[in-house]
């Protein structure tokens, strides 16, 4: 099977740039992805940040669909725990009706922001239902299969899409793999957030072993990773050297990855818990297009995946991001052409 290459763009607001310019860059990258044959282009959800513009993936997806023709566009992902599954289904049924067969709905478990923004999104409603329950609810609405004994039997998340959005579960842990497996949905492990290869292996193994087939659909493991591709090895090393993973470990047992040490400190203050912060080198595929091709093919073999989603948000300039994705497309020109047939 031909390898699929995709892109996740987090719409970073680089120093000296405006949110409007950040969105223009995301649109330009989506068009670049379509020209070069990338399989899908996803955008993310982050809140209360002056470093990332993408707070509303649904709105941005609609704009990207209008500026592309064939490329799959989706959310990587919507933080379902904050929202009504019914409303999320309505949003994505509208998108899927506007662009049949082109819309993806990735569901994530991370808060997507600081504790204060989480409280604002949930309007102080406290703990919500488990993500697995909300995901089941979402699937019923998207497929228009609300059972007769459901409290909202007869309700429709209009419009009913002829080709509904495809659902994916995103995660960085074995727990997220279990949710994806039990739901019979594709699973994306974010190695760019959790670079522990042993956790990734265990998550994919759990996903394969516990996968509940839905209408004969096989497991679909996908790996998301960071990459920096440049014209020389030296340039790629320079682009990647400042990229670190910043993790905050809370006394309650949660560990989260955030963008900067300052964000981690603010997260700790807002959580009202004891915490500690750790930084570690990020796992990143870096080098020329030839060397990164070899690294990505090895990751494909190691994890047994047929799709890689590449993230280059950490690169410090838009031109570097654009060049990285262009060189990567050149490195995989044959695979991208085969996957698009």
- Give yes or no for a contact between 9 and 40, defined as CB atoms under 8 angstroms apart: no
For residues 19 and 23, what is the distance between their CA atoms, to the nearest angstrom? 6
Bridge-based pairing state of the strands 255-258 and 244-250? antiparallel
Q: Which two tokens stand for residue 144?
A: 């228009």
For residues 176 and 188, what is the distance between their CA atoms, to the nearest angstrom? 9
Domain ranges of the chain: 4-236+283-339, 244-281
CATH number belonging to domain 4-236+283-339: 3.20.20.30
Of 112, 127, 139, the closest CA to residue 56 belongs to 112
What string of pLDDT tens digits covers the 341 residues of the chain? 789 999 999 999 999 999 999 999 999 999 999 999 999 999 999 998 888 999 999 999 999 999 999 999 999 999 999 999 999 999 999 999 999 999 999 999 887 777 888 888 887 665 678 999 999 999 999 999 999 999 999 999 999 999 999 999 999 999 999 999 999 999 999 999 999 999 999 999 999 999 998 767 899 999 999 999 999 999 999 999 878 888 888 988 888 888 788 888 888 888 888 889 988 878 899 999 999 999 999 999 999 999 999 999 888 899 999 999 999 999 999 999 888 76
Predicted pLDDT of residue 126: 58
């Amino acid at each position: 099977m031909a390898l699929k290459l995709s892109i996740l763009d987090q719409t970073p607001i680089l120093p000296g740039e405006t949110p409007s310019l950040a969105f223009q860059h995301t649109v330009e990258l989506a068009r670049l992805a379509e020209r070069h044959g990338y399989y899908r282009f996803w955008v993310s959800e982050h809140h209360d940040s002056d470093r990332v513009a993408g707070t509303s993936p649904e709105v941005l997806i609609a704009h990207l669909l209008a500026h592309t023709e064939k490329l799959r566009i989706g959310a990587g992902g919507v933080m379902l725990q904050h929202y009504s599954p019914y409303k999320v289904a309505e949003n994505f049924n509208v998108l899927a009706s506007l662009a049949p067969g082109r819309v993806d709905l990735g569901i994530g478990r991370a808060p997507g922001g600081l504790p204060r923004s989480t409280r604002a999104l949930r309007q102080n409603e406290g703990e919500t239902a488990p993500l697995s329950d909300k995901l089941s609810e979402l699937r019923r609405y998207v497929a228009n299969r609300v059972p007769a004994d459901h409290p909202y039997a007869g309700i429709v998340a209009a419009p009913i899409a002829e080709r509904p959005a495809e659902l994916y579960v995103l995660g960085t842990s074995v727990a997220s793999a279990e949710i994806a497996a039990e739901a019979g949905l594709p699973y994306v492990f974010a190695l760019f957030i959790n670079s522990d290869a042993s956790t990734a292996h265990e998550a994919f193994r759990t996903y394969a072993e516990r996968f509940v087939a839905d209408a004969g659909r096989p497991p679909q493991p996908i790996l998301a990773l960071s990459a920096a591709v440049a014209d020389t090895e030296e340039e790629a090393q320079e682009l990647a050297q400042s990229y670190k993973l910043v993790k905050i470990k809370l006394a309650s047992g949660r560990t989260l990855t955030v963008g900067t040490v300052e964000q981690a400190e603010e997260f700790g203050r807002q959580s009202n818990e004891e915490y500690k912060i750790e930084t570690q080198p990020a796992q990143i595929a870096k080098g020329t297009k030839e060397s990164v091709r070899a690294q990505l093919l090895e990751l494909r073999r190691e994890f047994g995946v047929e799709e890689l989603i590449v993230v280059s948000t950490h690169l410090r300039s838009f031109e570097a991001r654009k060049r990285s994705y262009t060189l990567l497309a050149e490195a995989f020109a044959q695979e991208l052409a085969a996957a698009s047939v």
